[in-house]
Amino acid sequence: MMPEFAFFLAGGPEALRIPLAMLIVFGAAKLLAELFELFHQPGLVGEILAGILIGPGVLNWVQPDNFLSALAELGVMFLLFRVGLEVKASELLKVGTTAAVVGIMGVLLPFGAGWGILSAFGGTQIECIFLGAAMVATSVGITARVLDGKGLLQHVASQTILAAAVIDDVLGLLVLAVVSSMAKGSVNMVEIGVTAGLAIGFTVLVTIWGTRTMEKVVPQMTKLRSSEAQFSVAMVVLFSLSVLAVYAGVAAIVGAFLAGVALAESTTHRVHDLAQGVTELLVPFFLAGIGLHLELSSMTAKATIILSVLVLVAAVVSKLVGCGLGALPMGRVNAIRVGVGMVPRGEVGMVVAQIGLGLGAVSQSIYGVVVFMSVLTTIIAPPLLSWAYRGEEGPPKQRFTLG
């Protein structure tokens, strides 16, 4: 029998649907996170597994919908904003050259691997290209969550991962633009060139000039009479740069991250604490939301299972090797850390799959393969990061306080 709360979520009183959905998702995510932490495992893996457990794939208590998707998107935006607040633009620029090589290698090898594997399985040309595009993606939110929790955001490998992920995001979205155009039957190179110029220009300008601008603007906020004026201004900057990022052709989360970087050296600890509080509320919806999209019913055919496993292995190895080779001048240990940090595909890979499905370019089974790969790389990455950074200790993580 369907549990009573599942009945309400499916068709019960409208007034109950939102708070009940939030209760189930947030409560389950935090409960499993605590359980995983008890056994010295990354809590975010528990939060992702909570989504799988309560979602359509297992208990079917909660279905992904627009409301939960909006909370998840806000969650990853605030996560990247919070991470950006801990990163200085000058530190990112120091690793810029290495990060660019890492980002490029992190596009070429995974794309080739995805295209080659599906070609061997008899996929259509456009399906092969879409799978390659999905393999290119990197979900920096997952890696950032792990590194932030361990107090390792200032580590040189961590800085390289963050910078490379931004570059990877720009390149990945350009690849997606080309692939989507091909699926529609034509490729407008002028439009893609303009998008590339805007995306790169936006990212570079905000990185270079954002901090200097905010250092002049934020101190003036002390003259405002409203309570928490600095936090209010920080939120305006966060949402403004997220909007501009989308118009420039990159993801909103890149704008959120760059907003944090721009404000990192000019805001008070109060702003950091308030941002951390909002992040702790919303991020479980982002993490559980990844698990909610995994439906095991699409993984019944033997060929699909074999393909899924091969794609998963290739997704991990191609990022580890490609990005690791790009970071090799930093030393073998740091190269491994960078490679592992670029492994999770998370929500970015699923977005590519959804676009392909919506355009009729990929079948339901290939969509399932991409979702499986996206979720599993996201679950695998945190333990790998803990192993790669073993022996490194950052400053102790402070609890969120309003005092």
How do the pLDDT tens digits run along the chain, 403 residues long?
Answer: 345 555 555 555 667 888 999 999 999 999 999 999 998 888 888 999 999 999 988 888 998 889 999 999 999 999 989 988 988 888 888 888 999 999 999 999 999 999 999 999 998 888 998 899 889 888 888 888 888 888 888 899 999 999 998 888 788 878 877 887 877 777 677 777 887 888 888 888 998 898 888 888 877 776 666 778 889 999 999 999 999 988 987 888 889 999 999 999 888 888 999 999 999 999 999 999 988 988 777 677 888 899 999 999 999 999 999 999 999 999 999 999 999 999 998 877 888 888 888 888 888 888 889 989 999 998 999 999 989 998 886 654 544 343 3
Provide the number of structural domains found in the chain.
1
For the whole prediction, is pTM greater than 0.85? no
In a domain, 398, yes or no: no
User: How confident is the model at residue 222, as a pLDDT?
Assistant: 64
Phi, psi angle pair for 155, to nearest 5°: -65, 145
Position 76 in a domain: yes
Tokens of 89: 């633009």
For the CA atoms of 136, 141, 144, 146, the dihedral, rounded to the nearest 10 degrees, stands at -100
Domain holding 145, by residue range, is 4-388
The predicted pLDDT at position 399 comes to 43
Please report whether residue 401 resides in a domain.
no
Structure tokens at 312: 């998963």
Q: What is the Cα–Cα distance from 317 to 321, expressed in whole angstroms? A: 6
Give domain status of residue 395, yes or no. Answer: no
Burial class of residue 58, CB neighbours in 10 A (0-12, 13-18, 19+): middle
Q: What is the pLDDT of residue 183?
A: 76
**C-alpha 93, offset from chain centre:** 21
Is 91 domain-assigned? yes
Whether 394 is in a domain gets the answer no
User: 102 in a domain, yes or no?
Assistant: yes
96-101 contacts: CB < 8 A, separation 24 or more? Answer: 96/163, 98/160, 98/164, 98/326, 98/327, 98/329, 98/330, 99/160, 99/163, 99/164, 99/166, 99/167, 100/164, 100/167, 101/326, 101/327
The pLDDT of residue 362 is: 84
CATH number of the domain where residue 382 is located: 1.20.1530.20
In a domain, 403, yes or no: no
318: Cα within 13 Å, side-chain hemisphere: 31
Alpha carbon 122 to its chain centroid, in Å, reads 30
Give pLDDT, residue 8: 52
Asked if 284 and 47 count as a contact pair (C-beta separation under 8 A), the reply is: yes
